[in-house]
Every structure is written in C-alpha cells, then in structure tokens.
Structure 1
Amino acid sequence: MARPNSEYPTELELQILKVLWDAEPMTVREVRESLAAGGRELAHTTVITMLGTMVDKEQVEKLEPTQGKAFRFSPLIGRDHVSRGMLGDLVDRVFDGSAEAVMLSLFDVAELDAEELAGLRKLLNKKMREAKS
C-alpha cells in the first residue's frame, strides 16, 4: 500500500527546497551539485524525478529555459511557511499543543550558550508584555 502524501515536504524534498531557497532558480544539474556539495550524492535521474514530483505537489515551479535547453526550478513555498507548518505539526502531535513542553524539551536537548539564553529571555519578555496588552 502506498504511503499517503504528506502536506509537509519529505526529508529529500526539504533538502531540495533548502538548496533552492538559498539560490533560485536552479537547473537540475545545479540542484544535484549543490546537494552533492552538502554530502547528498544523488543520480541525475533521481533529482529529475524528485523535482517533477515537487512540481506536481506545487512545491516548486518549472521555468522555461532562458538559454539552451535546461529547465530551471524555483520554490513556490517559502521557508517560513514550511517551518511554521512543520513545527506546528510537531508541537501538536508530540507535545499535545504545549509550547511549555516544547521549550522544556528544547532546554534538555540543546546546548545553549549565555548569548542564546539571553536572546530567548528577551523574546519571552516580549511575548509576556504582548500577552498583558
């Protein structure tokens, strides 16, 4: 039985999106080379197939070639949209919607330095002021 389509990108789709977010539009070759530079070696045909699937899922668009015959691809969904959706899904499914549980877990698994903790304190203070308004 086939796995149902997720509304969120798969691991490989997310890697491709990250490449495109950093330097769009890109050809299949450029995407493949960028993935390889990041340690993910894939066959050219695999990248073509993945980009085709992502076009079908409306995650990327296929642009007509400007020179030569190589199509270029550009993301249709933004980094913020994907990260918010995936994080919201994680919070709901793993932490039953509890932001507090997420933060406590974050403190358990992440090595935060004093500067990062100070930044988090500022964000929390800002959110507290907004909640009182």
Structure 2
Amino acid sequence: MSSEVTAKPTESELEILQILWEKGNCTVRDVHDILTRNKEAGYTTTLKLMQIMHEKGLVKRDTSSKTHIYSALASQQKTQQHLVSRLIDNAFNGSAARMVMQALGNHKSSKDEIEAIKKYLNDLDHN
C-alpha cells in the first residue's frame, strides 16, 4: 500500500482520525470510549466505521492478537491540507484571505495564537 492516502474522510471518520492522531495505536473500545465523551454513539457503529476506514486505507489494523489495534495511515498534515484547500475552493471562492478573516472573526483566538499568526505572516513576508 502506498504511503499517500487519497481517501477523503467523512466527518465521523475525521473524528476517529483525530483520536488516532492524538493517542496513536488504539482498540475500537479505546476510540469508542473517547468518542462517547462528547456524543452518543453505538459501539457497533464505531466498529463498522473503523472497518470501513480500513477498507478505504485511512487506518491500518494489527490483527496479530485477539484485540485488533488500529492506527492512522492518513497523515494529519496532508488530511488537513486537503480539507482546508477544499474549504477555500468551495466556501470562499478560492480566497485564503477571506477564509482566514472569517475564521478570526468567528473564533476568539488567544493572545498566543494571534502572536503565532503574526509571526507566520511576518515570516511569509520576508521569504
């Protein structure tokens, strides 16, 4: 299997990927327990989603023990880049500036986040 994962995760699959990116290797039970902290979800639904994600190449599954262990195959950075590009194209008519201004206008950013954004923009300006 190539290291370039091209499947586009659904919203539910993205929630699972977020858990795997943060926690690393997890069982279905591990993922399900984390998911149900914030929303109602059935165990069999989580299992089925993770099986589908395996078929799509978003996760890999280690079946060497009784309990299957899943880990993300989809790169967090590449997935985020793809989603942001799609959002810019579809919702902001290709304008990254409009998306950034909308995001900053709708979300309270911390002082540290604002400083990081300023530094990033300054670095872009000087390259």
Tell me which amino acid in the other structure corresponds to 1:35: L
Taking structure 1 as reference, are residues 44 and 65 closer, same or farther at Cα in structure 2, changes over 3 Å only? farther
In the alignment, structure 2 segments of 5+ residues that lack a partner are 1-5
Q: TM-score, normalised by structure 2?
A: 0.85
Task: Return the index of the structure with the highest Cα Rg.
Answer: 1
1:46-125 mapped onto 2 (5 Å cutoff): 46-66=45-65, 69-125=66-122
Shift of 1:115: 3.7
1:57 offset after TM fit, Å? 0.8
The alignment's TM-score, normalised by the length of structure 1, stands at 0.81
Report if aligned partners of 1:26, 1:72 keep a CA contact under 8 Å in 2.
yes
Percent identity for Structure 1 against Structure 2: 27
Pair 94,112 (structure 1): closer, same or farther in 2 beyond 3 Å: same
| Moved segments of 4+, more than 6 Å | none
Contact 1:60 1:73 in 2 (8 A): yes
- Render the CA deviation track for 1:10-64: whole Å, top value 9, x for unaligned: 111011111111222111111111212x323322211111111101110001112
Name the SS for the 1:14 alignment partner.
helix
Distance 2:9 2:99 in 1: 22
Q: Shift in Å at residue 75 of structure 1? A: 0.7
Structure 2 counterpart of 1:27? 27
Residues 7 and 57 of structure 2 are in contact (CA less than 8 Å); yes or no, is this contact kept in structure 1?
Answer: no
Q: Quick one: distance in 2 between partners of 1:97 and 1:39? A: 33
Deviations 1:75-124 (A, max 9, x none): 10121111111001101111121122122212321223444333222211
* Greater displacement, 104-113 / 23-32: 104-113
Gaps of 5+ in 1: 1-5
